[in-house]
Structure 1
Amino acid sequence: MSRQGPKKKGPVAFLFLGETLLIPHLYPIVEALAADGDVAIDLWVATSVHETLLTRWSEGLTGVRIRRVPGFRRIADAGEGQNPPLPPKIPTLLRLLPHLLRARAAVCAEQTSLWLPRLLPLRTPFVKTSHGVGSMSARDDPRRRAAAVMMVPSERERATYLERGFDPARVVATGYVKASFRQRSMTNLPFAEPRPTILYAPHWQRHRSSWWAWGADTVRRIAQDGRWNLIFAPHQRLAEGAPEVRAVMDEVRGLPNVHCDMDGFAMVDGSYTAAADLYLGDTSSQVIEFLQRPRPCVFLNAGGVEWRGDPSYAQWTCGEVVNDVGDLLPMLARAPAVHDSFAAIQARFAGDSLGDTRGSAPARAARVIRDLLDKRA
C-alpha cells in the first residue's frame, strides 16, 4: 500500500474525507509533492472507495502511504469509484485530530476540515486548495480565513480574496490543479449513434439551480427530441435536496441517446466536460472546466434572475440564456451557429478564471507546501 524511502520532511496529511469530486483537485498535488521522494505523505481516506482508487494510482510513489481515518467505512464497490456514503465529517475530524497534530501540514479541498484550525489553536498549518472555481464561490465563508495558505487557480480569483482583506502572503495563485488530473475513467461514451452530445449539469443548491423549476422538463424535451445525445450528470449532492432526480434518471436511462450518471467517477474526473459538444447548465463551475476548450454553451435562467451586470452570473456571458423553457430546443439547435460570437469571450473568461491549465499547477502547489515545511523547520 506504500513505499517508504528516506524522508527529510513531513509528514504532510492530505484529507480525502469528502465526496469523490474532491479527489481530482487534490491528487495531482500528491503526485507533484512525491516526485522527489523526500517528503512523507499520508493520504487519509474515509472509505474503501477512496482507498481503492488512491492505492491503485499511488503504486510506485515514494513516501506515500494510505491511512484509514477513525470511523473508516468499507463499501461494496467494484473499484470504479462510485461516490460512497461518507462517515460524518465533524466526528471524523475530531477523532483524526491526534494524528493531524503530529503532521507538519494538512491539505484539504473543502471547508469542513477548516473547522479545526478555525476553532482550535493548532500548530499544524492547514493548506486549502480550491475545488472548482466560479463567480458564485463562497469566498466569504469565515473558515477560509483559518487556512495558513489558500491556493486558488488564478490571479483574478486571488484578487477577490484580497478585496476581502485576506493577507496577500496567504493567498497564492497556482493555476487549475484539476486540469492535470490524468486518471480519467471514460473516453468513449456509450451512445448508439454519434449525434452531437449535450452535457446537462444542474447545480445542487436550490437557489442556484435550474433543476427544481425546469430540470425534469429539460431532460425529457432533449431525450424525446432525438437530435442530440444527452449526458445527464448533475452535481453529486443534488439528490440530497431533490431525491426525485433518481426517478427521472430511471425514466430515461434506457433510451439509446441518454446517459445518466450521478455517482460515477466519470462525472467528477473531467470525462464528460472533455467529451461533450455543448454545455447546458445554470451556475455550476463545471462550465469553466468545459471552456478550457471553448465550445457552445446555453444557460437556464429558471429563476428569472436579472443577471446582466451581476458578477455572480459572469459565466452567462459565455452563451445564450434561456428565459422561457419553451425556447430551450431552438436555442440548443442554434448554439453551434452563434458560437463564433461567444468564442473569444469564453476563452478570456476561462483563462481569467482557471489561470494556468498547461500542467504546471500541481508543481506550484507542491512548492507552496514545501515552502511551508521549510518555514516550520
Structure 2
Amino acid sequence: MKAAPIAFLFLGETLLIPHLFPIVEALADARPDLPLDLWVSTSTHEQLLAGWTAHLPQVRLRRAPGFRRLAATTPGERPILPSKLPMLLRLAPRLARTSIVVCAEQTSLWLPRAFPWMRTRFVKTSHGVGSMSARDDKRRMAATYTLVPSEQERATYLARGMAPDRIEATGYIKAAFRQRTPARALFPDALFADNRPVLLYTPHWQAHRSSWPAWGPQVVDQLRRQRDWNVILAPHQRLIERAPELRETLARVADLPHVHVDLDSFATVDGSYTAAADLYLGDTSSQLIEFLARPRPAVFLNAHARAWADDPAYAMWRAGEVVDDLADLLPALARAPARHAEYATTQRDIASAALGDASGAGGARAAEAVLRVLANPGPHR
C-alpha cells in the first residue's frame, strides 16, 4: 500500500523557507519512496521550490486553498500573502489525510490546538534563535514533536513544561540550506564600487525590541554621511510591513554608491547578507546569532535605554559594544574592528550555545526525527 504523504507547509513568509527546505531535501534523499507534499500559498513560493525540486520525483508541489498568483516578479521577491487562518481551515481536511505535517511557524499549530482529535501529527521546527525568541505561545504545546537547534534552546522549553520525549536538538537547520544567493553575486563588485568593509544594519521587527521606531531614520542618516563603510540595509520582512515609512526613508539613500537597499528579494532572508557583512549593527534580531556563527565585529543600539547588563533577555549584547547615545554610533563603528578581540570568545560561546551544531548536519538530523515520528503511531499529544 502506498504510504501517506508527509506534508510541508510553505504558507508563511519566505524567511521560513531556509529553515524548512533542508528537511525536505534530507527526507527525499533518505527515503525516495516516501511521497512529500509541499503546500504553497503563493506563486513566489511555488517558483522557488519548483526550481529546487525538479529532480525529486517523490516531491509534489500543491497549491493551498486561497493560493495567490502574483504578477511577474523577480524570483524570490517578497510576496503579499493570503490570510493564513482561512487558508489553514480550508486545508485542514486535506492535511487530515496525511501522516505528518511539518511546519516552521506557530500559526499552523492552530490546527492541532483547535482540533486535538486530528490523527495527523505535527512536527514544528524552529526559525528564530537567541535570548529574545518568543517561547510561551501555547500553540507550541500542540505539536507532536518539536525541533530546536541547541540543547540551550531545548532547556527553555523543558522549563516551560514540554515533555522531554517531545523535543529534540538537531543543530541549526538553516545552515544546511544550499540555495543561498552566491556570495560572488553579492559581494563586493555586484553591490559596491569599492572594497570598503561592509556593515549590515538589521533592526528587529517588533517595536518594543527594535531600534527602528526611535532611532532608525537617524541611524540611516549617519550611515549615509559616513564613508568608512559600505552599508547594506536589508530589514526584516515584518518590519517593512509594520513601519510603512521605512520604504520612503530608505529610498532616499538607495542610489548612493556606498549604500545597498534590499527590501524584497530572497537574499534578505536566505543568509546571504549575514554571510557577506564584516560588521553587524542592530538590536535584538536573531540574525545576530546567524552572523556570529562566524565571529565578526558587532555593535548594538540601545534605543530604549534598557538596563540590560543583568537581563538574560539581552545576553546577546555581550557580543559587542552597546551604544546608548546616537552621538557615539560612528565612533563605536570606527573602533569595532580593533575591539573585536575583546568579544570574539564571547561571540563563539553565544553562537555555539544558541545554534548548536552549525555544520550543516541539522537538516539530516531533522529528517531522522521526522522518520522516527512516522514510525511511532502512538499517542501524538
TM-score range, shorter chain: over 0.9
Which AA in structure 2 matches 1:372? V
* Aligned match of 1:119: 114
Change (3 A) 1:33 1:8: farther
* Aligned match of 2:48: 53
Match of 2:36 among 13, 33, 41: 41
Distance 2:321 2:174 in 1: 27
Change (3 A) 1:8 1:288: farther
Which AA in structure 1 matches 2:204? H
Match of 2:171 among 175, 184, 190: 175
Equivalent position SS for 1:39: coil
- Is the CA contact 1:9–1:373 (under 8 Å) kept in the aligned structure 2? no
Equivalent position SS for 1:61: coil
* Aligned match of 1:148: 144
Alignment of 1:3-152 (within 5 A): 9-35=3-29, 36-121=31-116, 122-152=118-148
* Aligned match of 2:285: 284
Distance 2:308 2:357 in 1: 28
For residue 132 of structure 1, report the CA deviation from its aligned partner. 2.0
For residue 220 of structure 1, report the CA deviation from its aligned partner. 1.2
Which AA in structure 2 matches 1:162? L
For residue 8 of structure 1, report the CA deviation from its aligned partner. 5.5
Equivalent position SS for 1:252: coil
Which AA in structure 1 matches 2:307? E
Equivalent position SS for 1:140: coil
Which AA in structure 2 matches 1:256? P
Which AA in structure 2 matches 1:345? T
Distance 1:345 1:77 in 2: 45
For residue 186 of structure 1, report the CA deviation from its aligned partner. 4.4
For residue 77 of structure 1, report the CA deviation from its aligned partner. 3.3
Distance 1:86 1:165 in 2: 33
Distance 2:242 2:56 in 1: 39
Equivalent position SS for 1:231: strand
% of aligned pairs identical?
A: 61
Equivalent position SS for 1:182: coil
- Is the CA contact 1:52–1:79 (under 8 Å) kept in the aligned structure 2? no
Distance 1:335 1:291 in 2: 15
TM-score normalised to structure 2 length: 0.96
Any gaps of 5 or more consecutive residues in structure 1? Answer: 1-6
Does residue 160 of structure 1 match 2:156? yes
Which AA in structure 2 matches 1:227? D
- 1:3-35 superposed Cα distances (whole Å, 9 cap, x missing partner): xxxx96431110000010000000000000010
Which AA in structure 1 matches 2:10? F
* Aligned match of 1:302: 303
For residue 39 of structure 1, report the CA deviation from its aligned partner. 1.3
For residue 359 of structure 1, report the CA deviation from its aligned partner. 1.7
Any gaps of 5 or more consecutive residues in structure 2? Answer: none
- Is the CA contact 1:202–1:283 (under 8 Å) kept in the aligned structure 2? yes
Distance 2:262 2:182 in 1: 12
Equivalent position SS for 2:255: coil
For residue 309 of structure 1, report the CA deviation from its aligned partner. 1.4
Alignment of 1:237-252 (within 5 A): 237-252=238-253
- Is the CA contact 2:4–2:97 (under 8 Å) kept in the aligned structure 1? no
Distance 1:79 1:32 in 2: 28
Equivalent position SS for 1:294: coil
Distance 1:8 1:68 in 2: 22
Which AA in structure 1 matches 2:133? S
Equivalent position SS for 2:237: coil
- 1:168-197 superposed Cα distances (whole Å, 9 cap, x missing partner): 001100000001111112422311111110
- Is the CA contact 1:53–1:79 (under 8 Å) kept in the aligned structure 2? no
Alignment of 1:195-214 (within 5 A): 195-214=196-215
Change (3 A) 1:132 1:77: farther
- Is the CA contact 1:198–1:229 (under 8 Å) kept in the aligned structure 2? yes
Equivalent position SS for 1:71: strand
* Aligned match of 1:255: 256
TM-score normalised to structure 1 length: 0.97
Distance 1:168 1:304 in 2: 38
